[in-house]
């Protein structure tokens, strides 16, 4: 007979929103940012609403999540910087502003994960995104997302 685990330790986690589909291009609105400790280590989560889309798997109005594993610092730092630059409207080619963002990242992310949504520098902002299927070094499938400043019009 199967022996069940200890349900007194169990927790009902946050909703499991879908990720962006391979080939997605569109605009997202940041709704919520936080860090959770998972059984594989800390992960940063960004819940967003799809504002425009070119793929049926991610229709306008759908809530999606982008997550970044924080245990691999060389990968996480680059991905988090690109995400923050896109959300805050910092263009990659603007070296001076990119440097200012790098200098401010720790403080900005503190607000993104520890401070109320009203004081969060990232929520209610728009970001352009493109998603593509790729593989990890270990040959596991995943969808990479590139973030860019949203320019209305």
Judge residue 48's burial from the number of C-beta atoms within 10 Å of its C-beta, 0-12 exposed, 13-18 middle, 19 or more buried. buried
Does a structural domain hold residue 65?
A: yes
Tens place of pLDDT per residue across the chain (153 aa): 556 666 776 666 666 789 999 999 999 999 999 888 888 889 999 999 999 999 999 999 999 999 999 998 888 999 999 999 999 999 989 999 999 999 998 888 887 887 766 667 788 999 999 999 998 888 888 899 999 999 987
Global pTM?
Answer: 0.85
Does a structural domain hold residue 8?
A: no
Length of the chain: 153
What domain count does the chain have?
Answer: 1
Contact yes or no for 133/24 (Cβ under 8 A): no
- Per-residue model confidence (pLDDT) at position 114: 77
Q: Three-state SS for 84? A: helix
Structural domain of 85:
25-148
């Amino acid at each position: 007979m199967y022996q069940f685990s200890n349900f007194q330790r169990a927790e009902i986690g946050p909703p499991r929103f879908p990720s962006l589909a391979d080939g997605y291009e569109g605009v997202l609105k940041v709704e919520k940012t936080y860090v959770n400790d998972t059984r594989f280590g800390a992960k940063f989560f960004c819940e967003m609403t799809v504002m425009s889309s070119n793929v049926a798997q991610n229709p306008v109005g759908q809530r999606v999540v982008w997550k970044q594993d924080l245990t691999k610092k060389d990968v996480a730092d680059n991905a988090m910087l690109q995400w923050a630059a896109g959300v805050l409207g910092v263009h990659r080619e603007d070296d001076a502003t990119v440097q200012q963002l790098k200098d401010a990242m720790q403080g900005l992310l503190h607000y993104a994960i520890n401070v109320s949504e009203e004081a969060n520098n990232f929520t209610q902002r728009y970001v352009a995104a493109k998603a593509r299927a790729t593989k990890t070094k270990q040959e596991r499938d995943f969808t990479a997302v590139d973030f860019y400043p949203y320019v209305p019009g």
